[in-house]
Amino acid sequence: MDELTNVDVAEQKPRILFVDDEPRILVALKALFRKDYDVVTANSGAAALDILREGDVDVVVSDQRMPEMTGVEVLRSAKDIRPRAIRVLLTGYSDLSAILAAINDGEIFRFINKPWSNVDLRQTIAAAVKASAIEHVELVVEGDINEKVYIPGIDDVGTLILDDDEATRDTLQRVLGRERAVYSARNLNEGLEQLEKHKIGVIITDLVVGGDVVTDLLSALRQHHPSLVAIVLTGQSDAEQGIDLINRGQIYRFLTKPISEGLLRGSVNLAMRRYEILHKNPAQALRIAAEAAPPANDTRGVFKRIGRLFGLTA
Amino acid sequence: MPTKTIIRKLSMRFMLHRNKTAGLNKRTAGFTLQRLLVVLAVSLALALIVFLLWKMLRNPLEAGLHVIRLEQIDSAAKADVELNQQILRARLVLDSGARELELARDRFDVAQSSLSSGKAGLSDLSRDIDQSLQIYRTQAGDKLTLLNDYSARLARLAQYFSVMRVAGISVLNVPAVNSSASLRKRIMMLLQEATAYSLQSSPENAFVMNQLTTEVGEAADQLDNDVARGALAHLLETVSLLRSSRDDLQKLIGQFDAIETGAALQNLQFAYENHFQGLQDTARRYRQTLAVYAVALLLAFGLIAVRLRSSFSALDNANNELQDTNSNLALIVNKRTQALSKALDDLKMQQGQLIQSEKMASLGQMVAGVAHEINTPLGYASSNVEIIRESLQGMGHEVDAESREEFDVLLADVEHGLNQISELVASLKDFSRVDRSQSQLFDLNTGIDTALKVCNSQLKDGVSIERHFAELPEINCAPSQLNQVFLNLINNAAQAMDGKGLIQITTRQVGGDVEVAIRDNGCGMNEGTRAHIFEPFFTTKAVGKGTGLGLSIVFRIIDDHGGTIQVESELGKGTEFVVRLPIKKAGKAADVSPANDVVLLGE
């Protein structure tokens, strides 16, 4: 402990906690990052939580598959103990439920596959450290978030539903339309038109709309409109897409159909408050900065339009 | 439950069969009876017709007899008339006897006897005829008896006449008489009168004769010559005898008139003709009956013929129907057989695919678990190698150049090995594709172009690509996966050829499917290889050159898309892979988005 304090005082290195049940991974990661960061390791979830309780940590990087406690559970607890800490999942293989939990419960920053590339991992950790430098604004929830809640000033902005299924659009409009303005779009073009026309804080979208995966759209929106909060509501489920949505889309929630009305309303209410925070504190958006990978092929000129849209409005 | 149903059906069928058999028996019995009746009716009809024919055929015989009988009656009548004439004529012929009469008598006798005897006789034909015949015969007998008497008397008359003539001549030759002219004259007159009387008696004649007899008698009395008187007396006596004989004869002739043989004969003829008429009437009746019967029979036969015809046509129809049904049945059976064999083929294919899919699925689950376990050591190993390499670069002078070079080489080998492992695991992950599903509308032509771009570097200069792309509808699929499919297939095609060759890529729409054919003119493969190419870890490449997963991943992806992949190959000529994908994802798409239309829970 003393040693640690000395180092802190001396260099003020960002502190990174690596959690993995395989000690050799921890050795390798420590070897990789010890020069630049204050590296702390834990070989179980419980040990990691102990460390988190003892002192502040900037970034938590955890493996998913560990005995007794999974990585997502560790990160969820980390979010409660150290909300400011940026959470990253580093795993060899994970199923869809783990990915969904990582998004919805862990609100993780990145999802990294093993084996990793040292260069990429360094970049990701650097981005995470950078995000952690932004002071975290706590999202305060009063009352039951799943109930109908309308707060003037917060819920003034509209919600955009992007789905090619008419029944879904109608249902969402009916459920959400009682509390706030809801706009719906059948495809990306219509969605962009709605975004141009109205003030929209939350976008609820299917994973695939009109035959196009929305990841690229969300990624582009994240780049140009960081405060927009995205919820993916889909009947399809795809692990790769989920990972992509985390890393490039930084979506707020990944919901699967069918969904209970309470969960849906709660998720939207939370997203609205999230938008409010992001809107009022633009710097907060950096905490959820996505990978700025330019889209490989800009089909249908969607991204040019997004650029133009936010270039004009911003 | 189905077994029960089948048993019930079977038992019902059996009962039905039994019923049918019983009905058949009953029908057979009815059939025999009917047959018997028909035979009876036919024989009856034939007997009747034979009877009628016999009755009819008997008539001509009767007609022949009839003519003879009529002739006989006629000849009898003629004989009767002739006899009557001869009887009348006979008394006029006083000197030449009654020869003609004898002949007529004989003829009459023959005719009357032939009437009642012989085949053409009239006896025993009918009671009326027999009666008439009897009457006739009695009368004929009477007539013949009378005729005998008549003949005798006629002969006596002739005798008396000749006696009278002789007596007259002798009287006249008596001189006493001869001398007396008046006497002579009276005798002459008496003789004349007596002759006339014997020929044709009449009252004047008789009166004159009486007067003359008296005068001659008175004259004789005046004669004194005894001889003359005796002669005269003899003459007068003879004349008297002649006269009485003549009177007797006249009486007999009257008797002849009383015997009416002609009328009896007429009666007989009448009776016979009546009889014959009756016969003819009967025959006509029979003929009529026969005609009517024949007509009725004809009608009956016509009716039977019509019925036969109709039943034959019904049979024909039934037969035709049966044949139709037969051919239809054959057709249906054919169709069924075809459908069944197709279904069997489909089933076999599906079974094969299912086995393949099952293999893939279990492998996938294993891979999912193994991947994590491999990735973890892989993670630190490769990270560590990188770190060491960096550190080594930073070391500079502490290591001699030779050792450093050696380290570089060794580290590069370690990295190479680790890369191979990580590639293997990555493709295993791709292959297992747990928790992977996505679908979007995608043009396969674009996918093929992308794949060609990616593997362009691997295609050697000698390999040329021919694209035959048709306009394709966008299909619902996972583009990245299909890109991988095309990449794999194109790479395989390129590797199948020895540096030089042609790869033809053809796309087209076939009904509700999109078809991509990738054909190379490379080395091809044999049947043994072809059978295993979609199996995981099956490879023809040297160890370390290929994972043996490429085509099994391809198969898995296409299977997941509800499509098919087929391969045709000939050793030394080349290989063609044909991928078929449905435009609208069916079947497996259901578990990709199971709840797309159910949005909310608890509604």
Helices (H), B433-581: 444-454, 479-495, 527-532, 550-560
Burial of B154 (0-12, 13-18, 19+ CB in 10 A): buried
Query: Which residues in chain A have their CB less than 8 angstroms from residue B595's CB?
Result: 235, 256-258
Cβ(A301)–Cβ(A217) under 8 Å?
Answer: no
Q: Which residue has the tokens 């006339």?
A: B196
Mean pLDDT score, B259-269: 81
Q: Is the pLDDT of residue A94 over 80?
A: no
pLDDT at B546: 62
Cβ(A258)–Cβ(B600) under 8 Å?
Answer: yes
* Rounded Cα gap, residues B132 and B268, in angstroms: 5
Give the Å distances, CA to CA, from B400 to A8, A57, B406, B409, B413: 38, 42, 10, 14, 20
CB atoms within 10 A of CB B144: 17
CB atoms within 10 A of CB B25: 10
Query: Which residues in chain B have their CB less than 8 angstroms from residue A244's CB?
Result: none
- Mind telling me how many Å the CA of A280 is from chain B's nearest CA? 32
Contact pairs from chain A to chain B, CB under 8 Å: 135
* Rounded Cα gap, residues A105 and A97, in angstroms: 11
pLDDT tens-digit map of B247-259:
887 888 888 778 8
Cβ(A86)–Cβ(A131) under 8 Å?
Answer: yes
Q: Is the pLDDT of residue B593 over 50?
A: no
pLDDT tens-digit map of B334-344:
888 899 888 88
* Rounded Cα gap, residues B489 and B352, in angstroms: 21
- Mind telling me how many Å the CA of A180 is from chain B's nearest CA? 19
At B576 the three-state DSSP class reads strand
Cβ(A103)–Cβ(A65) under 8 Å?
Answer: no
Q: Which residue of chain A has the CA closest to B437?
A: A238
Burial per residue of B526-552, b for 16 or more beta-carbon CB atoms within 10 angstroms, e otherwise: eeeebeebbbbebbeeeeeebbbbbbb
Q: Which two tokens stand for residue B371?
A: 């991947």
pLDDT tens-digit map of B375-409:
889 999 999 998 888 888 887 777 788 888 888 89
Kindly provide the residue ranges of all beta strands, DSSP E only, lying in chain A, ordered along the sequence: 15-19, 38-42, 59-62, 86-91, 110-113, 158-162, 182-185, 200-205, 208-209, 212-213, 229-234, 253-256, 259-260
* Rounded Cα gap, residues A90 and A109, in angstroms: 11
Determine, for residues A93 and B372 on separate chains, whether the beta-carbon distance falls below 8 Å. yes
Residue of A212, A256, A260 with shortest CB distance to B600: A260
Give the Å distances, CA to CA, from B211 to B170, B201, B286: 22, 15, 75
Q: Which two tokens stand for residue A191?
A: 């969605």
Closest by Cα among B263, B269, B270 to B139? B263
* Rounded Cα gap, residues B184 and A76, in angstroms: 211
Q: What percent of chain B has pLDDT over 90?
A: 5
**Does A123 or B262 have the greater pLDDT score?**
A123
CB atoms within 10 A of CB B90: 25
Q: What percent of chain A has pLDDT over 70?
A: 84
Strands B600-601 and A259-260: parallel
Mean confidence (pLDDT) of chain B = 79
pLDDT tens-digit map of B460-498:
778 888 889 998 888 888 777 787 788 888 888 888 887
Residue of B380, B594, B596 with shortest CB distance to A28: B380
Beta bridge partners of B335: none
* Rounded Cα gap, residues B125 and B272, in angstroms: 8
Determine, for residues A91 and B434 on separate chains, whether the beta-carbon distance falls below 8 Å. no
Kindly provide the residue ranges of all beta strands, DSSP E only, lying in B311-445, ordered along the sequence: 440-442
DSSP B25-51: HHHHHHHHHHHHHHHHHHHHHHHHHHH
- Quote the radius of gyration of chain B (alpha carbons, Å): 76
Give the Å distances, CA to CA, from B485 to B357, B412, B424, B509, B556: 16, 31, 17, 18, 10
* Rounded Cα gap, residues B374 and A246, in angstroms: 24
Mean pLDDT score, A5-33: 81
pLDDT at A6: 45
Tell whether A41 is within 8 A of chain B (Cβ).
Answer: no
Q: Is the pLDDT of residue A296 over 60?
A: no
Give the Å distances, CA to CA, from B590 to A86, A153, A201, B555, B594: 38, 43, 33, 19, 5
**Does B552 or B566 have the greater pLDDT score?**
B566
Q: Which residue of chain A has the CA closest to B384?
A: A28
Closest by Cα among A43, A53, A51, A3 to A21? A43
pLDDT tens-digit map of B336-369:
889 988 888 878 777 776 776 676 667 667 777 7
Determine, for residues B598 and A258 on separate chains, whether the beta-carbon distance falls below 8 Å. yes
- The type of residue at A207 is L
Most confident of A28-42, B54-68, B255-269: A28-42
pLDDT at A3: 44
Mean pLDDT score, B255-281: 81
Query: Which 122-161 residues of chain A touch chain B by CB within 8 A?
Result: none
pLDDT at B590: 36
- The type of residue at A198 is H
Closest by Cα among B238, B183, B192, B239 to B215? B183
Confidence of residue A305 (pLDDT cuts 50, 70, 90): low
Query: Which residues in chain A have their CB less than 8 angstroms from residue B378's CB?
Result: 92, 114-115
Cβ(A162)–Cβ(A206) under 8 Å?
Answer: yes
* Rounded Cα gap, residues B149 and A14, in angstroms: 198
Query: Which residues in chain B have their CB less than 8 angstroms from residue A32's CB?
Result: 383, 387
Confidence of residue A61 (pLDDT cuts 50, 70, 90): very high
Residue of B437, B474, B595 with shortest CB distance to A211: B474
Q: Is the pLDDT of residue B97 over 60?
A: no
* Rounded Cα gap, residues A202 and A233, in angstroms: 12
Among B435, B475, B583, B592, pick the best mutation site for testing chain A contact (most A Cβ within 10 A): B435
Mean pLDDT score, B500-521: 90
pLDDT tens-digit map of B418-460:
988 887 787 777 666 555 555 667 788 888 887 787 677 677 7
Determine, for residues B438 and A213 on separate chains, whether the beta-carbon distance falls below 8 Å. yes
* Rounded Cα gap, residues B152 and B158, in angstroms: 10
Q: Which residue has the tokens 């969605």?
A: A191
**Does B383 or B136 have the greater pLDDT score?**
B383
Mean pLDDT score, A46-52: 95
Span between the terminal Cα atoms of chain A, in Å: 48
Determine, for residues B383 and A118 on separate chains, whether the beta-carbon distance falls below 8 Å. yes
Q: Give the rounded distance of the alpha carbon of B172 from its chain centre.
A: 115
> Using the 8-state DSSP alphabet, how is residue B117 labeled?
S
* Rounded Cα gap, residues B257 and B386, in angstroms: 183
Q: Which two tokens stand for residue A18?
A: 């690596």
Q: Which residue of chain A has the CA closest to B430?
A: A240
pLDDT tens-digit map of A203-253:
999 888 876 778 888 888 888 888 889 999 988 777 777 888 888 888 899
Query: Which residues in chain B have their CB less than 8 angstroms from residue A302's CB?
Result: none
Q: Is the pLDDT of residue A299 over 60?
A: no
Determine, for residues A28 and B601 on separate chains, whether the beta-carbon distance falls below 8 Å. no
Mean pLDDT score, B53-70: 75
* Rounded Cα gap, residues A38 and A16, in angstroms: 6
Q: Which two tokens stand for residue B587?
A: 């079947």
pLDDT at B112: 79
Confidence of residue B579 (pLDDT cuts 50, 70, 90): very high
Q: Is the pLDDT of residue A170 over 50?
A: yes
Determine, for residues B439 and A264 on separate chains, whether the beta-carbon distance falls below 8 Å. no
Kindly provide the residue ranges of all beta strands, DSSP E only, lying in A107-156, ordered along the sequence: 110-113
